[in-house]
Amino acid sequence: MYIRIKRNEEELQEWRKGLTEIIKYPLPNLSTLRIESIIGRGGGGKVFVVQSRQDGKLYALKVIDKLQTFKTAKAFRHVSSERLIMERFGRHPFLLHVEFAFQSDANLFIGSQFCPGGDLASYIRQKGNRSIPYDGKDYIGSVQTGRPRRYPRLTEEQTRSIACEIVLGLEHLHSKGVVYRDLKPENIFIDEDGHLKIGDYGLAKLLEEPSSGTRSLRTASVCGTRNYLSPEMLAGKPYSYESDMWSFGVMLYRIMIGAFPFDANRTKEVFQRIKKDTLDTPNWLSTEARELLRGLLQKDPRKRLTAERMKRMPFFAKVDWDAVLRKNCSPSISDVSVGDRLSDVLENFDLTKLEGISVGDYMYGHIEEATPATAPSHKRDPRGILIGFEYAHKDEDRLNDGPELLVKTRSGGLFSRITSLDFDQLPSPRGIFSSGSK
């Protein structure tokens, strides 16, 4: 097995203690959550909007199949990293954080703040300007043959407000040693006040050596979304935070101009243009905007803008960064509409690819009932459980007087997978997923 397991008495004692705390103060689970609608799906799992029966609040619940999680070492690392990063570094005004996490025999569940404004890509599709000024050229970006893909766009002023909140969230991640690796409008979410949250950390990586605790400077895996990949990543070179800044430049280009800077019909051609083509910016953009895009879309990562240098660019000359961080200024999305009913909120999400598919279908044919049989059984568990995956942020409205529930026995900085062999002497899990347990 690719995961090394420590089976010693000290580790088991810590896990027993964690289970005891969970039994005393039950975690949110499927019996305490009412599933309202599916709102997204992807390689990392499915996302539902759920309502807590305990506090009445809405949450986003990501459901991850354990079979897929344990299929490869890379998949396991991605899930573990996502859960850890959301807990360790997500408490920031412009990042999504984990509110609770639990597991069953079949699935892992991560609950986070629900952002009723939907994602930034859906907002731009609905509210963006679909006309693109003509600047004497027959193409935008590097698509010189065929018809380039066009997208609705926003004004420079709107883009500036959006960029301010995103760069502060990204700067925080970089300061903690996290390279995000999948920055795009689809992964930026709009809260009820119109502020932005970077979410979906499935590809994020903590640049840290588990054995020594010293931070490494680079990683080498090629991952992300086609048009947003950096030249150094495509060249197979080690990369770091600079790669996120390239993706940020691509995103701002798309938002302001309505097209990708390097595009083509075939993936291979896209990659060639990212690595070799010269950046083209239309002359109807302001000088400050063109300068910003050129700084972010430098082929040489050593010359590329960092988050700190980006904040000092003329494009942001009038921005009060402290006020943005404190949210003492207008939100990025001033016309967010959340309505009074969940049906109104769901209009902010792109559900076209999910039509005709029931929630039950996505939950493998039925809604998994929260009973002792669907909790990690410890005895019949064929797929293992993750030590330390469970989590609940302390909230007086939800956990009453209970302690903050942090069950975090880890091996090498990641969660450990264990099997029923490790649980011969553990207390019965009855009540862990029972809403009435005390």
Annotated binding site: 62
Place of tokens 């991640």: 173
In the set 182, 191, 200, 422, the catalytic residue is: 182
Contact 178, 85 (CB under 8 A): yes
Q: Which pair of tokens denotes residue 396?
A: 């007086």
How many other CB atoms are found less than 10 A from the CB of residue 16?
A: 14
Distance of CA 173 to the CA centre of its chain: 12
CA–CA distance, 97 with 404 (Å, rounded to integer):
15
CA–CA distance, 21 with 257 (Å, rounded to integer):
53
Q: Which pair of tokens denotes residue 144?
A: 């010189």
CA–CA distance, 350 with 50 (Å, rounded to integer):
17
- In Å, how far are 81, 97, 259, 364, 411 from 87, measured between CA atoms? 10, 6, 35, 28, 17
Bridge partner residues of 201 (DSSP): none
How many other CB atoms are found less than 10 A from the CB of residue 86?
A: 24
- In Å, how far are 49, 227, 234, 379 from 71, measured between CA atoms? 27, 27, 26, 21
Q: Which of 359, 246, 256 is nearest to 310 (CA)?
A: 246
Q: How far apart are the first and last CA of the chain?
A: 37
User: Using CA atoms in the order 85, 86, 91, 93, what is the torsion angle rounded to 10 degrees?
Assistant: 110
Find the radius of gyration of the CA atoms of the chain: 23
Residues 6+ apart with CB under 8 A from 239: 179, 218, 219, 220, 230, 232, 233, 301
Q: Which of 407, 84, 99, 143 is nearest to 263 (CA)?
A: 143
How many other CB atoms are found less than 10 A from the CB of residue 357?
A: 12
CA–CA distance, 187 with 200 (Å, rounded to integer):
6
Angle between helices 241-257 and 287-296 (to 10 degrees): 150
Which residues are documented as binding site for ATP?
A: 62
Q: Is 182 a catalytic residue?
A: yes
How many other CB atoms are found less than 10 A from the CB of residue 23?
A: 18
CA–CA distance, 285 with 353 (Å, rounded to integer):
34
- In Å, how far are 44, 113, 154, 156 from 162, measured between CA atoms? 26, 19, 10, 10
Give catalytic residues, as residue numbers.
182
